[in-house]
Amino acid sequence: MKKLEVNKELCIGCGACVAIDSNHFDFDEDGLSEVINNEDIESEECLNAMSSCPTNAISYQEEN
């Protein structure tokens, strides 16, 4: 199973992913993006959010 992951080392908190796909992304207490939902992670909105991230901080990871 794939899951979404935000690399907090790369995230600059620009908010693009949250604006595009608030179903999957929200800000954490540090103002960085975090994944809030791992359902339907290949939706058009989710793919758009991933490709809109300026630092390529969002990726799919294999869940063990």
Is the Cβ of residue 46 or residue 53 nearer to ligand SF4 in the bound state? Answer: 53
Q: Which is nearer to ligand SF4, 3 or 15 (CB)?
A: 15
Angstrom distances, CA of residue 45 to CA of 11, 19, 25, 31, 33: 18, 10, 11, 21, 15
| Near ligand SF4 in 2-61, by CB under 6 A | 6, 11-17, 33, 53-55, 57-58
- Residues whose CB falls within 8 Å of the CB of residue 47, separated by 6 or more in sequence, listed in order: none
Counting residues that bind ligand SF4 (by CB under 6 A) gives: 14
Write down the least CB distance from residue 63 to ligand SF4, Å. 19
DSSP bridge pairs for 4 = 60
